[in-house]
Amino acid sequence: MAVDQLLFGYHDGHELIAGSRPLSAVQQRELLPHLDASFEAADERQLVGAAIASLDGYVLARIWPAPERPRPGAVWAHALLLNAEQLRFRRLGGLLALLRRPVDEHLDGYADQLPWPRDVELAPSPPPLAEALTRAALAGDRRPRVVLWHAASDAEPALVALLDAFPGPARNAFSFRTRERARLGATPYRVQVASVLSGQGAGASDVVIDARQPPGASSLLAS
Amino acid sequence: MRIVLLGEQATGKSSLLVALYGALVNHRAGDLRLVRTVDEVEFLSRGLQAFGRRESVQRTDVDSDARLVVDVARGDEIVSVEVPDRSGELLKHMLDSRVWEPDLHRQIGDAAGAMLFLRADLVVPGSDAFAEPLAAAGDEPADAPVEAVAWTPTLMPADARTVDLLQAVLDAHADRLPLAIILSAWDRVSPPAGAPAAWLAQQLPLLGQFLATHAERLPHAVFGVSAQGGDFALGLADGLVQEDPWDRAFAVRPDEARGTLSEPVLWLLDNAA
């Protein structure tokens, strides 16, 4: 069993640089918003998980700033494409370890499928964060939630563990993104984890779960 | 007034928005005065800080929902101006795949005006392969390897791509759509050009002829714009180093007069339906 991978980066625009499978124009168009980002600091990164209808699969990707590229704001995105069978039936805990940023612009190995990783025990997340993510993922009204936490990248293992914990047929509906700054409004992600919330009405929304608050206080903000 | 930005990646869309915002905030926008900012301006402030450090602004990512939304006064009239900043990759992908980008399709339908962005410094005269003189028959070296390259829309020259885009715009927007054509990096045009429209007609003749033919549906004016005021990589001219970003930036109007970055917006306000 092997998993497909894609590398997006800045060449003549942000585009597919290498991959283990071809993509149609429609598939690229659907993937692109999930595999691009803006960063405020060079040490940030984002993790994205979302179903891709045109691929009948699911993308799990990590995005990093690429300050070594000539265009300010350039990024690298390394994506794993899980097919429907892999998403439904496989253990997903080992996938995070496959995501790697190009170093010194060496792009070897990104054009080949990767062996499916053995399952690993993911590092535990801080309990308030793990609890907030679970509440966000299982919210009955199915409205997208924003979880506020000090460092959004802390949520990476918990998000993949949550995806893994869903029954196979339900995994497709769980989408997430970690990011430095989240805005309220239309989003394709069921759960966003951010350290900053921006936009009008950001402080008072009932779709925000502030996991940074002491126990009890967060229930005033979240539903 | 909703203005849609049409430009591929690295054509100066975000730079113009940032510099225009700086001009409005610092009272360097000619007849336009800033009344209030309606949406958050965090990305514009960050861009202005980059200009202050003499760095280019960051590219706009595909996932971005950045936009400039301001109320501006012109004399006694107050107008709301909304300009979504779209990633140029979305337009590039649309032209390459020949499939409408849904958000852009909607924005064009709703727009009262448009700005079309082209990089003046990247238009190279004589770069058209068809303009290369053919070798005389029999002169080809017998062993010269010739590798055929399959044609794709990415190989279209700039003016053909732009005409392709404008034909799609005409299909998507039923009424007339005023079009401010922004020739970005105007400070880097060599030798220095005079009237932007004359430059466009000479360097991008297919686009010039298309615009002339469709002037009723696409009333237009051509502006040369330098949002940075110079090339940061090469170093700014001595007189510009100490100037603030909003003083370095400039626009050249269709009549060749130098003005502020508000000129294209003023023209769109005058010509909107």
Which of A10, A29, A176 to probe the B interface (max B CBs under 10 A)?
A29
- Sorted by where each begins, the domain ranges of chain A are 2-115, 127-220
Q: Is the dihedral of CA B21, B24, B29, B33 positive or negative?
A: positive
Q: Is the residue at B186 inside a domain?
A: yes
Is A32–B88 a contact, with Cβ atoms under 8 angstroms apart?
Answer: no
On whether the CB atoms of residues A7 and A20 are closer than 8 A, the answer is no
Minimum CA–CA partner of B90 in chain A: A29
Q: Is the pLDDT of residue B27 over 50?
A: yes
Is A15–B89 a contact, with Cβ atoms under 8 angstroms apart?
Answer: yes
Is B89–A40 a contact, with Cβ atoms under 8 angstroms apart?
Answer: no
- How far does the CA of residue A161 sit from the closest CA of chain B (Å)? 25
On whether the CB atoms of residues B90 and B62 are closer than 8 A, the answer is yes
Point out the residue among A14, A71, A72 whose CB comes nearest to the CB of B62: A14
Q: Is the residue at B132 inside a domain?
A: no
Q: Is the residue at B217 inside a domain?
A: yes
pLDDT at B138: 61
pLDDT at A204: 62
The proportion of chain B whose per-residue pLDDT surpasses 70, expressed as a percent, equals 92
Query: Helices marked H in B65-139 — which ranges?
Result: 88-97, 102-110
Q: Is the residue at B196 inside a domain?
A: yes
Give the CATH number of the domain where residue B219 resides.
3.40.50.300
Q: Is the residue at B220 inside a domain?
A: yes
State the burial class of residue B5 (Cβ atoms within 10 Å of its Cβ: 0-12, 13-18, 19+): buried
Is A15–B46 a contact, with Cβ atoms under 8 angstroms apart?
Answer: no
Cis ω before A124 (30° cut-off from 0): no
Q: Is the residue at B175 inside a domain?
A: yes
Is B61–A183 a contact, with Cβ atoms under 8 angstroms apart?
Answer: no
On whether the CB atoms of residues B252 and B262 are closer than 8 A, the answer is no
On whether the CB atoms of residues A27 and A4 are closer than 8 A, the answer is no
ipTM value, please give it: 0.80
Q: Which domain holds residue B250?
A: 3-124+148-271
Chain A CB within 8 Å of residue B139 CB: no
Using alpha carbons, select from B6, B209, B187 the residue that is nearest to residue B101: B6
pLDDT at B149: 85
pLDDT at B42: 84
Residue by residue, pLDDT tens for chain A (223 residues) are 899 999 999 998 999 999 999 999 889 989 999 999 999 888 999 999 999 999 999 999 999 999 999 899 999 999 999 999 999 999 999 999 999 999 887 889 999 999 999 988 888 889 999 999 999 999 988 889 999 999 999 999 999 999 999 999 999 999 999 999 888 888 999 999 999 987 666 566 789 999 997 655 544 444 3
pLDDT at A221: 45
The residue among B228 and A25 whose pLDDT is bigger is: B228
Minimum CA–CA partner of B42 in chain A: A198
**Contact map slice: B 7-36 vs A, CB within 8 A:** 8-10
Residue A64 dihedral angles phi and psi, to the nearest 5°: -130, 155
Q: Is the pLDDT of residue B216 over 60?
A: yes
Rounded Cα–Cα distance for residues A49 and B2 (Å): 33
pLDDT at A124: 85
Q: Is the residue at B58 inside a domain?
A: yes
Q: Which strand (E) or helix (H) includes residue B246? A: helix B245-248
pLDDT tens track for B129-144: 555 555 666 655 666 6
What are the distances in angstroms from CA B153 to CA A23, A31, A42, B92, B96?
17, 20, 35, 10, 5
A:B CB pairs within 8 Å: 73
pLDDT at B40: 78
Over residues B149-172, the mean pLDDT reads: 91
